[in-house]
Amino acid sequence: MTAPKKLFIKTYGCQMNVYDSERMAEAMGGQGYVQTQTADDADMILLNTCHIREKAAEKVYSELGRYKGLKVAKPDLKIGVAGCVAQAEGEEIMRRQPMVDLVVGPQSYHRLPEMEAKIREGKKALDTDFPEEGKFDKLIARPKAKRGPTAFLTVQEGCDKFCAFCVVPYTRGAEVSRPVDRVLTEARDLVERGVREITLLGQNVNAYHGAGPNGDMGLAQLIWALNDVDGLERIRFTTSHPNDMDDALIEAHGDCPKLMPYLHLPVQAGSDKILKRMNRSHTAASYLRVIERLREVRPDIHISGDFIVGFPEETEEDFQATLDLIEAVRYGSAYSFKYSTRPGTPAAERPQVPEDEKDDRLQRLQALLTRQQRQLQDDMVGRDVSVLFEKPGREAGQMVGKSEYLHSVHVTADGVSPGDMARVHILESRTNSLSGQLI
Ligand code: SAH
Ligand code: SF4
Ligand code: F3S
């Protein structure tokens, strides 16, 4: 028997890439690879990349530069680039970095084993097709190994929304939903392997419309079906678009026992003029109405969002409208970014906001968001929350888990293991976490 080959995967970008990397590692297991945690001892390195902002894309080339020495020392080392940069740049990657052996776009991952066989013969392999056959159902290896208490499960991929700033519709392709029975099978497998909480993933996960036994099912129906899976304790989903928050999904937040009271609902900006130019197809008021309805059915729900500052032609007044919207919503957490010009997207052609103005706006926006986040976290002190424990903490005897609102919660207690759920009385709020005692 020959020793297994070692595969090092480095993952950038969103949760969907994390999920894809797991699937690719499983698929490569069939080619005799085991995963390793360092590039140094790898026989193959795979970068799973992100193209969302300029910095994300440039990281790939600087990381590849670092592998030059490794390839000289070990000429058999194979280097591959997957993910959204692979899709966007294709062959260009091999031109800029000739030591790259393989380039594979997100919709072709099921072809990775054949591609690996090809590069082992010393050839190059490139695949950035959007093939007809669905990658997922060919990619699922269904291993039985135990795993941690939380998992991602991609149910929808791609985007038809074409926001004026965004590369995702070009890198991930059109919206596709996986059939309900496949999702349920994968969820049951995960639960058998120790998973207690599943986060359903999609670039527009609430646009989900997967084939079910009696026609297409929406995300709310899928969540209700998952609610019946024994052993599964918690359901989350991300990322959602405000326009796809239909009545059934809003109501599920009030009625569905396993659906967590937390929602990531990006808005990007608070000025209707900017939202229109972003091609977001919702207004600040329609977004606020969705939040209001969610709070009617689930008053304790925590809202999280994404923001872009310095979108082309954003004035100080427009920016102020974003701050006003944030004041109105009160976010439990948020991600905020300076607008980054992406070649090939419509906004790249518009008059740009100067960099120092973007910096200034980002600082002011983040100061407000941090204040809100801290306030909502501090408000948890004295309350009881449910915690799903994930791993030991830094101090002896400590365990860390997540509340239903996704706060990290520390507890010092005997006999608590990863995967356990317990009620915890919150005693203290620290910079990025809460601590408390078991009830
Ligand atoms: N599908 C999700 C998220 C897509 S990308 C949605 O519609 O919300 C994640 C976040 O990256 C976006 O919500 C947006 O805030 C940010 N983003 C996307 N393109 C960007 C760009 N060109 N510059 C800066 N931020 C960007
Ligand atoms: Fe990008 Fe907009 Fe699609 Fe989200 S909805 S992935 S921001 S184009
Ligand atoms: Fe990045 Fe692609 Fe995800 S561009 S954010 S890895 S969909």
Tokens standing for 352? 């740009």
Residue holding tokens 């899928």?
A: 222
Give the pLDDT of residue 88. Answer: 96
CB 252 within 8 A of CB 224: yes
Local confidence pLDDT in tens for the 439 residues of the chain:
578 999 999 999 999 999 999 999 999 998 899 999 999 999 999 999 999 999 988 899 999 999 999 999 999 999 999 999 999 999 999 999 999 999 999 999 999 999 999 999 999 999 999 887 778 767 766 667 889 999 999 999 999 999 999 999 999 999 999 999 999 999 999 999 999 999 999 999 999 999 999 999 999 999 999 999 999 999 999 999 999 999 999 999 999 999 999 999 999 999 999 999 999 999 999 999 999 999 999 999 999 999 999 999 999 999 999 999 999 999 999 999 999 999 999 999 999 999 999 999 999 999 999 999 999 999 999 999 999 999 999 888 899 999 999 999 999 988 899 999 999 999 999 989 999 999 9
Q: Which helix (H) or strand (E) holds 246?
A: none
Ligand 3 atom closest to Cα of residue 167: 4
Give the pLDDT of residue 87. Answer: 96
Residue holding tokens 């449910």?
A: 386
DSSP-assigned letters across all residues of 2-13:
PPPEEEEEEE-S
Centroid of ligand 3 to alpha carbon of 214 (angstroms): 33
| Alpha-carbon span 171 to 107, nearest angstrom | 9
Structural domains of the chain, with CATH? 5-127 (3.40.50.12160), 144-379 (3.80.30.20), 383-438 (2.40.50.140)
Cβ-based neighbour number of residue 374 at 10 Å: 13
Tokens standing for 431? 């910079």
Tokens standing for 193? 């392997």
* Residue 350 in contact with ligand 2 by CB distance below 6 A: no
Give the pLDDT of residue 158. Answer: 95
Beta strands in 24-132 (DSSP E): 33-35, 44-49, 78-82, 102-104, 125-127
| Alpha-carbon span 416 to 266, nearest angstrom | 35
* Residue 203 in contact with ligand 2 by CB distance below 6 A: yes
- In angstroms, the Cα distances linking 55 to 85, 336, 338, 341, 358 are 12, 15, 11, 11, 15
CB 50 within 8 A of CB 18: no
Tokens standing for 223? 């969540």
Cβ-based neighbour number of residue 297 at 10 Å: 14
| Alpha-carbon span 412 to 416, nearest angstrom | 9
Counts for the chain of helices (H) and strands (E), in that order = 15, 21
Q: Are strands 333-338 and 302-309 parallel, antiparallel or unpaired?
A: parallel
Give the pLDDT of residue 395. Answer: 87
- In angstroms, the Cα distances linking 89 to 68, 158, 388 are 20, 18, 41
- Looking at the DSSP bridge assignments, the partners of residue 34 are 6
Tokens standing for 158? 């791609």
Pocket of ligand 1 (CB under 6 A): 52-53, 165-166, 168, 203-204, 239, 241, 266, 268, 306, 308, 337, 339-340, 342
Residue among 17, 161, 204 to mutate when testing ligand 2 (max atoms within 8 A of CB): 161
What phi and psi values does residue 3 have, to the nearest 5 degrees? -65, 145
| Alpha-carbon span 71 to 67, nearest angstrom | 6
Give the pLDDT of residue 142. Answer: 63
DSSP-assigned letters across all residues of 144-182:
-----SEEEEE-EE--S---TT--HHHHH-S-EE--HHH
Centroid of ligand 3 to alpha carbon of 344 (angstroms): 16
Ligand 2 atom closest to Cα of residue 306: 7
Q: Is the pTM of this model over 0.85?
A: yes
The DSSP 8-state label assigned to residue 44 in this structure reads E
Centroid of ligand 3 to alpha carbon of 52 (angstroms): 6
Cα torsion for 221, 225, 226, 232, to the nearest 10°? 140
Q: With CA atoms as reference, report the closest residue to 200 among 170, 172, 220, 173.
A: 220
| Alpha-carbon span 222 to 205, nearest angstrom | 11
The burial of 204, by beta-carbon neighbours within 10 Å (0-12 exposed, 13-18 middle, 19 or more buried), is given as buried
Give the pLDDT of residue 130. Answer: 87
**Which residues carry a binding-site annotation for [4Fe-4S] cluster?**
14, 50, 84, 159, 163, 166
Give the pLDDT of residue 1. Answer: 59
CB 184 within 8 A of CB 226: yes
